[in-house]
Amino acid sequence: MSATDSHTPASMEAGSTPSISPAFSDQCFSRQHRLLTPAEFKAVFDHNHYKASHKHLLLLARKRAEPAHDGIHDGIHDGTGVEALRPPVARLGLVIAKKHVRRAVDRNRVKRQLRDSFRLHKQNLIGLDIVALARPGLGALDNTALRAMIDAQWTRLLKQQQKAGV
């Protein structure tokens, strides 16, 4: 009995890479769904189109010019020497300052809740770059209140986007 027969599925044969099911890949918060550079954050701060404000959280969103080809390269080459463009996705950047959410455990909890909620709403936010800014008191909310407030902010952002599109 070989090593591939006993414990590895057929999709994991020697030389192959594990495949991620499409349903799972839609639910992850991969690098392509994050704002990574200071320039990307600055673009949202300077040229935001939508705002969803709450006393504990501010969401700023910027619509990219062409969501299908936003001109951002991800380093994937197609064999012709040209880098492939990213597919249209929603991207999130988090600014959870120690000044507003003092304890590290609370900052991490807030970021986890924001990322999880974003994962569930990102299909409706395609083509937007979004920055979430913590305000004083955000860390004091319990998980239920925090999640309800975050979900309400996504709804407000979506309503603004739909209203602008009509």
pLDDT in tens, 6-58: 444 444 444 444 444 444 445 666 788 889 899 999 999 999 999 999 999 99
Give yes or no for a contact between 157 and 132, defined as CB atoms under 8 angstroms apart: no
Neighbour-count burial for 79-113, b at 16+ CB within 10 Å, e otherwise: eeeeeeebeebbbbbbebeeebbeeeebbebbeeb
pTM over 0.95: no
- Which residues are within 8 A (CB) of 121 and not within 5 positions of it... i.e. 6 or more apart? 90, 151, 154, 158
What domains are there in the chain, each with its CATH number? 32-165 (3.30.230.10)
* pLDDT confidence band for 150 (50 / 70 / 90): very high
Determine the average pLDDT of the residues in 82-97. Answer: 76
- pLDDT band of 89, cuts 50, 70, 90: confident
